[in-house]
Structure 1
Amino acid sequence: MFIRTESFQQFIRSYPIVTTILALQFGLWLLFALPIPLIQLGHDHLVGFNYGVAAGEWWRLITPVFLHGSLTHILFNSMSLFLFAPALEHLLGKVRFLIIYLGAGFIGNLGTYWVEPLEYVHVGASGAIFGLFGVYLYLVLFKPHMMDRGNSQVILTILAVSVIMTFVNSNINIMAHLFGLIGGMLLAPLTLVFHSKKRRY
């Protein structure tokens, strides 16, 4: 479930939404790494900035999901997506997966807006990724027939470590992680309600 054995072409063909997200965030990271004032101005209008949201710039609740602050940041989040997102795209389908991903990212950024001060600035896909973990947690707790015990233990272990690291590491948007996780759990039953009970991972 979480071991990738596909070739590059197979991965693109099997998981087009995950592939598009990965390509988009790497493309944006490379673009905004260019030291060009106009490009940097564009970046500043896309980052999560609570004061901007309060001023009516609501796109800042979504656009930070595709932006990253450093090479380490984007590599870590991209590896998480590469490992854990494909199974959910396969399970949910392209549209429902995208709803979960963007919805959890939005909820994570909305939680950041509610809790953090107006001057708070943030970027990163972590809230959306925690939303994916929220879906897995929902499956483990409420739909155990859809995941085998081994994969359930993997999810619970990784989630526990991720939550601990959220509070241990510095420069982490804690609210995006927590609200993203909650958002994934809330959206999970809405996207799984019509799903076949026979599929198992």
Structure 2
Amino acid sequence: MFIRTEKSVKEFMSYYPIVASLVIINLSLWLIIDVLHLPIAMQLYQWGIGHNLSVFYGEYWRLITPVFLHAGLMHVLFNSFALVLFGPALEQMIGKFKFITFYLLAGLAGNIGTYIIEPTANVPHLGASGAVYGLFGIYVFMVFFRKNLIDQANAQIVLTIFVIGLVMTFIRPGINIYAHIFGFIGGFALGPIMLTKALPFYAGRIRKKRKSNDISFDPNRWKKRQLTQKIKKNAFWIILGILVLFGIFNRLL
């Protein structure tokens, strides 16, 4: 469910076009603003960054545009990694339209919560963390109320990483705590609606759409299957290790 088995980036993009598009948008905007410093970069940044005082005076688009902007390489990589990790399964389970609607609403919930707590704050904020915590919210909803959609191993992964993320939310400086909390609440609250008619994640469901002439004999298929099984058994430690590495790099940069 949370281990990627696609053979290439192209295959991933064809299976999960919404997740892939969101990651491309995040990285492209970061590249334009933080690396290339194109003439339009500063205008995009100033127009789209979250700013409660500006929202107070009527710039309501700032409740959604910060979801696509990030503060630095590690910020965009961490949120994009989380999206690639937790987004594909949900996109398949509820469909493309529901997924993009859910993602934007969860991000919106995080920014609305930030605004409600401090409506005249003059401090900018940005990032997809609210939407990412919305993913945690809907998965936690599955764990408690839709157990047919998530198995015990994946439920353990979600709960453990969520707890770690929640702890980091309160101990790391510069974190928009309200966006995380309200994004999670928004994702949890949207669970009953978004999971209507949802099907459990099954990677083979997408692969069945391949044409029969694309199927060929692979002499190494058994070795690949054994490797995949080993990865699945150690999924929790692999994901946790990657998150720790991100945290270390973020401290060094």
Aligned-residue offset at 1:146? 1.5
Question: Which letter maps to 2:197?
Answer: F
Aligned-residue offset at 1:191? 1.1
Structure 1 residues 74-101: Cα deviation after superposition (integer angstroms, max 9, x where no partner): 1111111111111111111101111110
Q: Distance in 1 between matches of 2:11 and 2:180?
A: 31
Counterparts of residues 32-43 of structure 1 (less than 5 Å)? 32-33=33-34, 34-36=36-38, 38-43=40-45
Which residue of the partner structure matches residue 129 of structure 1? 132
TM-score normalised per structure 2: 0.76
Q: Distance in 2 between matches of 1:122 and 1:75?
A: 17
Aligned-residue offset at 1:194? 2.9
Q: Distance in 2 between matches of 1:144 and 1:23?
A: 32
Cα 1:31–1:143 shift into 2, 3 Å: same
TM-score normalised per structure 1: 0.95
2:57 alignment partner, one of 51, 55, 58 = 55
Q: Are 2:111 and 1:109 equivalent residues in the alignment? A: yes
Q: Are 2:140 and 1:171 equivalent residues in the alignment? A: no
Which residue of the partner structure matches residue 76 of structure 1? 78
Aligned-residue offset at 1:160? 0.6
Larger Rg, first or second structure (1 or 2)? 2
Aligned-residue offset at 1:120? 2.1
Q: Are 2:24 and 1:23 equivalent residues in the alignment? A: yes
Aligned-residue offset at 1:150? 0.7
Fraction of identical pairs, as percent:
47
RMSD over aligned Cα, in angstroms? 1.4
Q: Are 2:7 and 1:4 equivalent residues in the alignment? A: no
Which residue of the partner structure matches residue 232 of structure 2? none
Aligned-residue offset at 1:200? 5.7
Q: Distance in 2 between matches of 1:38 and 1:193?
A: 42
Q: Which runs of 5+ in 2 are unaligned?
A: 203-253
Q: Distance in 1 between matches of 2:42 and 2:126?
A: 14
Question: Which letter maps to 1:28?
Answer: L
Q: Distance in 2 between matches of 1:68 and 1:23?
A: 13
Q: Which runs of 5+ in 1 are unaligned?
A: none
2:122 alignment partner, one of 109, 113, 119 = 119
On the 8 A contact 1:22/1:78 being kept in 2, the answer is yes
Which residue of the partner structure matches residue 98 of structure 1? 100
Aligned-residue offset at 1:193? 2.0
On the 8 A contact 1:100/1:188 being kept in 2, the answer is no
Aligned length: 199
Cα 1:10–1:112 shift into 2, 3 Å: same
